[in-house]
């Protein structure tokens, strides 16, 4: 979720990439069918063939943020840690942390045979409410499998800062919101219920659940479903992954899922009938997880707050000419919707 800009495949030096792949025994000969693919907004996705094998390359955008390269390194590290687990994810092939090879850190992964529901449902899924119901439950099952992974694996030694994770959330995201004022032309945030949301989060912070892997941006736009059934093929876009309290992800599910009153939520999928309700998803998670969800409203408010601030960054960048204005305006409207939803949750307390 960030700056939606056309991706020019020429951003990648193919000769350098070929040399790098040669050194790692990843095929031989030219790169063929080199093309940008959908799904890369904050970071870019490029698919190509080499020597009879298909690869997907992920790298930062042309105009990198301060942490873009470190984000790539972290994503590759998480995918490496998930190898052999029950978590549906893109398999990591190889990663490069040195920015000097292609001008940015990057990694190669296996392609996923699947589709994103927010881009449209194929006939099987569009034509059967039972399949759509299974999609919703599989969405939670994939999250359960992630939260069951032992995050103490050696690959993740030192990954994230789980101690004090919840205590850091409001100050961290408020600081990010404040940083947008440094962008030329940005008039500052005009977000509803901001003070009430911050006060609620600070005054009602729960004790954390046991440490695990957090995806950090878990919604229907960041998963791919199988073409032949209502099951998750892969969780994608791991740029916000860390270690801490995994109920952060369940809060995101509640924040983004359409409400019973007809609120379309963050992610629009049509047709929607057949998908489980928020309450059903939460119950499905609760029945299969050892974690207490008594403080779930707090996690849902935090999800709205954090995600809204992230999206507001693109709105601010648009004022400085670093993102498309139309897309910045769209994400600002989404941010307003998220803060309104958080305000409703706070108002029920």
Kindly report, residue by residue over 188-247, the tens digit of the pLDDT.
898 999 999 999 999 999 999 999 999 999 999 999 999 999 999 999 999 889 999 999
For residue 185, give both structure tokens: 């032309």
Measured in whole angstroms, how far is the alpha carbon of residue 258 from the centre of its chain? 18
pTM of the predicted protein model: 0.89
Specify the CATH superfamily of domain 9-109: Phosphorylase Kinase; domain 1 (3.30.200.20)
Listed in order, the ranges of the chain carrying CATH 3.90.1200.10 are: 117-347
Q: Is the dihedral of CA 279, 205, 348, 313 positive or negative?
A: negative
Task: Decide: 221 and 116 in contact? Cβ < 8 Å.
Answer: yes
The CATH architecture one would assign to domain 117-347 is Alpha-Beta Complex (3.90)
Listed in order, the ranges of the chain carrying CATH 3.30.200.20 are: 9-109
Q: Which residue has the tokens 């409703």?
A: 344
pLDDT in tens, 11-70: 899 999 999 999 999 999 999 999 988 765 568 899 999 999 999 999 998 878 888 999
- Compute φ and ψ for 45, nearest 5 degrees: -120, 130
Task: Decide: 298 and 252 in contact? Cβ < 8 Å.
Answer: no
Residue 235, beta-bridge partner list: 223
Provide the pLDDT confidence category of residue 167 given band limits of 50, 70 and 90.
Answer: very high
């Amino acid at each position: 979720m960030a700056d939606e800009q056309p991706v020019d495949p020429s951003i990648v030096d193919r000769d350098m990439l070929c040399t790098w792949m040669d050194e790692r025994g990843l095929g031989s000969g030219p790169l063929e069918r080199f093309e940008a693919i959908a799904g890369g907004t904050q970071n870019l996705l490029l698919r190509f063939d080499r020597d009879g094998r298909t690869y997907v390359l992920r790298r930062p955008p042309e105009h990198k943020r301060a942490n873009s390269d470190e984000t790539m390194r972290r994503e590759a590290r998480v995918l490496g840690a998930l190898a052999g687990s029950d978590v549906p994810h893109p398999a990591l092939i190889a990663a490069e942390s040195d920015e000097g090879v292609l001008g940015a850190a990057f990694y190669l992964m296996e392609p996923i045979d699947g589709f994103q529901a927010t881009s449209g449902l194929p006939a099987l899924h569009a034509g059967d409410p039972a399949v759509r119901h299974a999609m919703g439950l599989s969405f939670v099952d994939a999250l359960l499998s992630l939260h069951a992974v032992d995050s103490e694996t050696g690959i993740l030694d030192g990954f994230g800062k789980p101690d004090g994770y919840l205590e850091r959330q409001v100050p961290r995201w408020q600081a990010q919101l404040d940083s947008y004022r440094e962008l030329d032309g940005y008039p500052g945030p005009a977000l509803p219920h901001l003070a009430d949301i911050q006060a609620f989060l600070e005054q009602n912070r729960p004790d954390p659940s046991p440490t695990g892997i957090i995806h950090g941006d878990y919604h229907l736009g960041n998963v791919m479903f199988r073409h032949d059934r209502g099951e998750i093929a892969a969780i994608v876009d791991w740029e916000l992954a860390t270690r801490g309290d995994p109920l952060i992800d369940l809060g995101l599910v509640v924040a983004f899922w359409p409400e019973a009153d007809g609120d379309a939520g963050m992610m629009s999928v049509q047709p929607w009938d057949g998908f489980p309700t928020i309450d059903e998803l939460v119950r499905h998670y609760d029945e299969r997880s050892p974690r207490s969800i008594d403080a779930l409203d707090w996690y849902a408010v935090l999800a709205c707050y954090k995600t809204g601030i992230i999206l507001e960054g693109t709105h601010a960048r648009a004022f400085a000419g670093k993102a498309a204005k139309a897309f910045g305006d769209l994400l600002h409207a989404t941010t307003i919707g998220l803060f309104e939803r958080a305000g409703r949750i706070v108002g029920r307390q």
